[in-house]
Chain A
Amino acid sequence: MNWLDISSTAFIIAFFLYCAAFIFYAVAIGGKRWSNRDPEAHNRRWGRIAFATAILGWAAHLTFFFTRWAGGGHIPTSNMYEFMTFLAMAIMFAFIIVHLIYKNNLLGAFALPLVVIIVAYASVFPSEVQPLIPALNNYWLKIHVTTAATGEAFFAVGFAAALVQLLRVVDFSRTDKKGRREQRWTEFVLFFMVIIVGFLVAVFGFRAGGYEAKFQQESVSIDQQGVEHSKVQTVEYGLPPIVKPYNSEKLSMDAFLGMKEPLFEAPSWMNGVNAGRKLNTVIWSVLSGLILYAVLRLISRKPLAARIHPYLGDIDPEDLDEISYRAIAIGFPIFTLGALIFAMIWAQIAWSRFWGWDPKEVWALITWLFYSAYLHLRLSRGWQGTRSAWLAVIGFLVVLFTLIGVNLVIAGLHSYAGA
């Protein structure tokens, strides 16, 4: 058994331990009102079991990381798969730190599913060890990526606490306009997370079924000397093509539920061969997310937020506000150091300029400006509590866009980290 085999085994173990830890946290919180038990003791006991499981999961995750490092010969933070697994590991680290300060089971119940989702998302990307291209072959790869991800991980924990806070304070007895709006938006955040789970279910479901379809697109471009170049690109779909790439031909396609031809073609402005595939993935995510959400709604018989809300009674919103703020306050200097200063130093060495307005750089700056605004707003009266929690949620969406969205939607110098 070589390093890389140990590594992938450890990764699977970590994933299942995280899932188990999440379930134990859910039991700790949801099972308090089960008969013949003291709620306090139940919460404490299961909370301890859950935390121990989470720590074990993290240990397995660390094993994955270091054995992959040994087997691959370079720090595993060089492509999307490796970065996402590292981010999940960093979120666990941030969660452990914040948990040790505030010792609250609710945080675990919301941070762990986030970690599980990110680990699963990482597995969507090809997991082979790829040797480093010259631009990445530098010790700053270790320093820049790890610190930036750690900073972002604290923002993720801040997001988890803020989400609990929103679910905690949302008032389902209100029927006025403002109250309804609050209920709707809180539900929407949960809905959004269900969509992401829907995406994962769709991808892994069809992958397990071995689904495949192939398309070919010929594009013609004219270079500066006026010479015509035609380029034939093929693209593989892992999900049944509801949408095929713009101006493309079908090479092969497995039938799915009697569907033998793509239903639509991507609009012309999505001209890349991969744009069609991405659009198709988004459509599938929304579809399976909607089905999943409908099932959950049927089981819960009321909005998901209203189903979760009653279990959050024994923590004060002020504590959640503080946890969220604290996590962000811990993360902010680390993020500044890793995502901006170290990034600038490396950019100066590798690309000859410390700042070049590359989309990834700009979005790191946007994230930083956003959290700066958050920190300054907290100085103002009326911006603590719910409003601040919303900002923490939006902030994490900005982080996610910086990490994933920029690579999927906007290409740039960081495109090697893309899918």
Chain B
Amino acid sequence: MIKNTKCECGHQNPVGTVLCESCGKPLDPDLPLDSPLEMRYDGAARRSQKANPAVIDRIWNFFSSVKIAIYLIVLTLIGAALGTIYPQESTFINLDDPGKYYKETYGTWGTVYHALGLSRTYESWWFIGLLVMIGTSLVICSLDRVLPLYKALSKQQVRKHQTFIDRQQTVYASELAAEPNEWIERFGKQLKRKRYKVWTDGTALLAEKNRFSRWGPYINHIGLIIFLLAVLGRGVPAWHMDKYIGVDEHQTVQIPNTNYYVQNEKFTVEYYKDEELPDKLKGTNRAKLYRTDAKLYTCTKYCNDDPLHEPELKEVEAHAIEVNSPLSYKGLNLYQYNYEERVRLIEVKPMLVDSTTGESYGPFDLPMNDPPPSVEAGPYKLTLSAVFPDFGLDAQGRPMTKTRDPNNPAFVFVVTGPGLNEKGEMYIYFPMPSGDDKAVQKQINDSFKKLGSNTGRFSFQVGKMENVSFSQYTTYLNVRVDRAMPYVWVGATISMIGLVMGFYWQHRRIWLRIDDGRLSLGAHTNKNTYGIRSEVASALGKCGVAVEPKTLDNRRSSS
């Protein structure tokens, strides 16, 4: 059945129009008769109200519904809440067997939680799906409404249908003794003083202000869409890097897969002193500062693991990285993430001591990383025969290294030189100043002696502290690249502008007509009806029509 959509004022309206686009007469016969009119989108027809929808139209209609949008919001809300019941897997840095962890820590419920995939809620297909659907709904809802609304607001008629005026939220009607044209002019002036734009058409008047606030929600939605797209954009691998690196003091480490090197010059941790703490916290270690004095380098030559050359580095940035103060260089950010107090030797300068003569030779340089294959100490030559960066004994009691980190280094040297036989003498050396290590060192050297590998003539000694350079702390830095961030901030800013426009200003319109000495006034606002009532009452009052703001409320007089 084809509906006649032509209004009695002669305007041809699209299907689905609720209020005539031109004169405002209610067209939908199903509207409740005595309540104020629904003024959403000024009663204009939306694309989603098209007759005989095709498939595309059906999808469009689905996403254009505010009801669906609310369902999506509520489902997302519930999903997000479920994800906070137990910690997410992503909060653990290394969790080898998540299923086992949830079972052991949280029992049966933990098992169920993990099995349902709720331990990865925010990466799950359904949660991301919900966010994508919200994004779609934002686009379609906005387009479906903003265009008809824009059209309706840009072609408003001054003289509205009597029913349209009488059925606004805010209404007033009375006999008017004054001369209509003159009174309308006076009333218009009053409204202009309240910063309304006023149009008149004979004895009809339209006053409007803050129309721009109607665009607030749509601007907010545009901002949210940009924000959501930017968040999805973070999934592009080239746009995103998230790595953790540990750097000892004085150490320079390459940032994996980049041309950058970072050096930890010094790490500082400070605690509050007792006099700075309230009584209850005295004696506790309350952290005051974590700081890595860092330098960032780029590699200019011999970068790709050239076996012959050390890479050549150029300093590009230096910054004291603190919590809340990352180092930033061309989109690369280094954050203070963690630290560990762990003494690690960097270099020692030991002396070779001859116990038969009491004479000592050296000192010679012994860096823990990449020690040279041989060094000279006085007339003697020390050839490195084995290195154990993290010394330990295996199940058979043989020396081995537990890790590749220089936690407890041990060096085996073969000493050759004057007065020694050709094969030389073999000694193990533990540079760490720990009693345990010294005991092990003695034990092993004694067993070498038994085997005839040495005579026990030599030992190593580091005399003064200045012959030892060590790192006390390892700092852990979080390396981040996030090329989508500018778009995230742009989206958030636009969204915020839209919110402020939409919530802190209200679109207000007043229609008025005088027919045969009878004045009818209707006014509408999308928010803050209280405000528009007092404005109307005050303008009427200044034109000789005394009225209480409350009595203008159509909802109340009708209920």
What secondary structure prevails in chain B residues at the interface with A? helix
Q: Which of B73, B280, B480, B529 contacts A373 (CB 8 A)?
A: B73
B323 sits at the interface (CB 8 A): yes
Minimum C-beta distance from A406 to chain B (A): 8
Among A37-45, A155-163, A359-367, the stretch in contact with B: A359-367
Query: How far does the alpha carbon of A365 sit from the alpha carbon of B127 in the complex, in Å?
Result: 14
Q: Is the CB of B76 within 8 A of A131?
A: no
B83 sits at the interface (CB 8 A): yes
Q: A318-B555, A353-B242, A377-B70 are in contact. List 16 more A-B contacts (CB 8 A).
A: A126-B280, A130-B278, A131-B272, A133-B288, A134-B289, A137-B324, A322-B528, A336-B496, A348-B485, A350-B324, A357-B121, A358-B91, A362-B84, A365-B80, A366-B80, A373-B70
Q: Which of A102, A362, A373 contacts B83 (CB 8 A)?
A: A362
B333 sits at the interface (CB 8 A): yes
The 8 closest A-B pairs by CB, nearest first: A128-B278, A352-B335, A333-B499, A134-B323, A138-B324, A369-B77, A359-B84, A373-B73
Residues in A neighbouring B329, C-beta threshold 8 A: none
Q: Is the CB of A369 within 8 A of B287?
A: no
1/0 per position for B302-328, CB-CB distance to A under 8 A?
000000000000000000001111100
Residues in B neighbouring A365, C-beta threshold 8 A: 80
Q: Is the CB of A369 within 8 A of B76?
A: yes
Query: How far does the alpha carbon of A131 sit from the alpha carbon of B500 in the complex, in Å?
Result: 36
Residues in B neighbouring A333, C-beta threshold 8 A: 496, 499-500, 503-504
A66 sits at the interface (CB 8 A): no
Query: How far does the alpha carbon of A326 sit from the alpha carbon of B74 in the complex, in Å?
Result: 22
Minimum C-beta distance from B485 to chain A (A): 7
Q: Is the CB of A329 within 8 A of B503?
A: yes
Q: Is the CB of B288 within 8 A of A134?
A: yes
Which of the listed residues B70, B122, B290 has the most CB atoms from chain A within 10 Å of its own CB? B70
Query: How far does the alpha carbon of A126 sit from the alpha carbon of B281 in the complex, in Å?
Result: 11
Residues in A neighbouring B38, C-beta threshold 8 A: 381
Residues in A neighbouring B88, C-beta threshold 8 A: 357
A34 sits at the interface (CB 8 A): no
Q: Is the CB of B488 within 8 A of A354?
A: yes
B518 sits at the interface (CB 8 A): no
Q: Is the CB of A329 within 8 A of B527?
A: yes
Question: Which residues B413-457 have CB closer than 8 A to chain A?
Answer: none
A93 sits at the interface (CB 8 A): no
Q: Is the CB of A380 within 8 A of B67?
A: yes
Q: Is the CB of A128 within 8 A of B70?
A: no
Chain A residues in contact with chain B, CB under 8 A?
101-102, 126, 128-131, 133-135, 137-138, 140, 269, 316, 318-319, 322, 325-326, 329-330, 332-333, 336-337, 340-341, 344-345, 348-359, 362-363, 365-366, 369-370, 372-373, 376-377, 379-381, 406, 410, 412
Q: Is the CB of B530 within 8 A of A336?
A: no
Q: Is the CB of A369 within 8 A of B324?
A: no
Query: How far does the alpha carbon of A350 sit from the alpha carbon of B529 in the complex, in Å?
Result: 44
Residues in A neighbouring B333, C-beta threshold 8 A: 352
Query: How far does the alpha carbon of A326 sit from the alpha carbon of B81 in the complex, in Å?
Result: 27
Q: Is the CB of B279 within 8 A of A337?
A: no
Query: How far does the alpha carbon of A341 sit from the alpha carbon of B489 in the complex, in Å?
Result: 8
- For A377, the closest partner residue in chain B by CB is B70
Query: How far does the alpha carbon of A102 sit from the alpha carbon of B529 in the complex, in Å?
Result: 12
B66 sits at the interface (CB 8 A): yes
Minimum C-beta distance from B527 to chain A (A): 6
Query: How far does the alpha carbon of A140 sit from the alpha carbon of B323 in the complex, in Å?
Result: 13
Query: How far does the alpha carbon of A348 sit from the alpha carbon of B500 in the complex, in Å?
Result: 24
Query: How far does the alpha carbon of A365 sit from the alpha carbon of B81 in the complex, in Å?
Result: 10
1/0 per position for B272-295, CB-CB distance to A under 8 A?
100011111100001111100000
Q: Is the CB of A344 within 8 A of B280?
A: no
Q: Is the CB of B77 within 8 A of A373?
A: yes
- For B134, the closest partner residue in chain A by CB is A369
Query: How far does the alpha carbon of A345 sit from the alpha carbon of B485 in the complex, in Å?
Result: 10
Question: Which residues B521-559 have CB closer than 8 A to chain A?
Answer: 527-530, 550, 553, 555-556
Minimum C-beta distance from B28 to chain A (A): 13
Query: How far does the alpha carbon of A210 sit from the alpha carbon of B136 in the complex, in Å?
Result: 60
Q: A344-B492, A376-B70 are in contact. Are A134 and B277 (CB under 8 A)?
A: no
Residues in B neighbouring A340, C-beta threshold 8 A: 492
Query: How far does the alpha carbon of A358 sit from the alpha carbon of B122 in the complex, in Å?
Result: 11
Residues in B neighbouring A349, C-beta threshold 8 A: 324-326
Q: Is the CB of B323 within 8 A of A372?
A: no
Residues in B neighbouring A140, C-beta threshold 8 A: 324
Q: Is the CB of B324 within 8 A of A135?
A: yes
19 contacts between A and B (CB under 8 A): A128-B278, A130-B277, A133-B287, A140-B324, A325-B527, A326-B530, A330-B503, A332-B499, A333-B496, A336-B496, A341-B496, A349-B325, A351-B335, A352-B333, A352-B478, A363-B81, A366-B81, A369-B77, A369-B80
- For B216, the closest partner residue in chain A by CB is A333
Q: Which of B80, B90, B325, B496 contacts A362 (CB 8 A)?
A: B80
Q: Is the CB of A131 within 8 A of B288?
A: yes
Residues in B neighbouring A370, C-beta threshold 8 A: 77
Q: Is the CB of A357 within 8 A of B122?
A: yes
- For A346, the closest partner residue in chain B by CB is B324
B140 sits at the interface (CB 8 A): no
Query: How far does the alpha carbon of A203 sit from the alpha carbon of B272 in the complex, in Å?
Result: 31
Q: Is the CB of B80 within 8 A of A372?
A: no
Residues in A neighbouring B74, C-beta threshold 8 A: 369, 373
Minimum C-beta distance from A243 to chain B (A): 20
Residues in B neighbouring A341, C-beta threshold 8 A: 492, 496
Q: Is the CB of B66 within 8 A of A380?
A: yes
Q: Is the CB of A352 within 8 A of B480?
A: yes
Minimum C-beta distance from B338 to chain A (A): 12
- For A72, the closest partner residue in chain B by CB is B278
Residues in A neighbouring B73, C-beta threshold 8 A: 369, 372-373, 376
- For A336, the closest partner residue in chain B by CB is B499
B183 sits at the interface (CB 8 A): no
Minimum C-beta distance from A384 to chain B (A): 9
Q: Is the CB of A322 within 8 A of B323?
A: no
Residues in B neighbouring A325, C-beta threshold 8 A: 527
1/0 per position for B102-119, CB-CB distance to A under 8 A?
000011000000000000
Q: A133-B286, A318-B556 are in contact. Are A352 and B337 (CB under 8 A)?
A: yes
Query: How far does the alpha carbon of A251 sit from the alpha carbon of B496 in the complex, in Å?
Result: 55
B69 sits at the interface (CB 8 A): yes
B40 sits at the interface (CB 8 A): yes
Residues in B neighbouring A406, C-beta threshold 8 A: 84
Which of the listed residues B80, B84, B91, B280 has the most CB atoms from chain A within 10 Å of its own CB? B84
Q: A337-B496, A376-B66 are in contact. Are A134 and B322 (CB under 8 A)?
A: yes
Residues in A neighbouring B107, C-beta threshold 8 A: 269
Query: How far does the alpha carbon of A329 sit from the alpha carbon of B530 in the complex, in Å?
Result: 14
Query: How far does the alpha carbon of A173 sit from the alpha carbon of B488 in the complex, in Å?
Result: 54
Minimum C-beta distance from A368 to chain B (A): 9
1/0 per position for B58-100, CB-CB distance to A under 8 A?
0000000011011001101100110111011011000000000
Residues in B neighbouring A350, C-beta threshold 8 A: 323-324
Query: How far does the alpha carbon of A340 sit from the alpha carbon of B223 in the complex, in Å?
Result: 14
Residues in B neighbouring A337, C-beta threshold 8 A: 496
Residues in A neighbouring B529, C-beta threshold 8 A: 322
Query: How far does the alpha carbon of A363 sit from the alpha carbon of B78 in the complex, in Å?
Result: 11
- For B506, the closest partner residue in chain A by CB is A329
Q: Which of A128, A319, A353 contacts B279 (CB 8 A)?
A: A128
Query: How far does the alpha carbon of A326 sit from the alpha carbon of B496 in the complex, in Å?
Result: 18
Residues in B neighbouring A358, C-beta threshold 8 A: 91
Minimum C-beta distance from A274 to chain B (A): 17
Query: How far does the alpha carbon of A131 sit from the alpha carbon of B231 in the complex, in Å?
Result: 36
Query: How far does the alpha carbon of A329 sit from the alpha carbon of B527 in the complex, in Å?
Result: 9
Q: Is the CB of B66 within 8 A of A363?
A: no
Query: How far does the alpha carbon of A163 sit from the alpha carbon of B322 in the complex, in Å?
Result: 47
Q: A336-B496, A357-B90 are in contact. Are A379 and B280 (CB under 8 A)?
A: no
Query: How far does the alpha carbon of A414 sit from the alpha carbon of B470 in the complex, in Å?
Result: 36
Residues in B neighbouring A130, C-beta threshold 8 A: 277-278, 281, 286
Query: How far does the alpha carbon of A326 sit from the alpha carbon of B75 in the complex, in Å?
Result: 26
Residues in B neighbouring A412, C-beta threshold 8 A: 87
Residues in B neighbouring A126, C-beta threshold 8 A: 280
Q: Which of B286, B480, B500, B504 contacts A353 (CB 8 A)?
A: B480
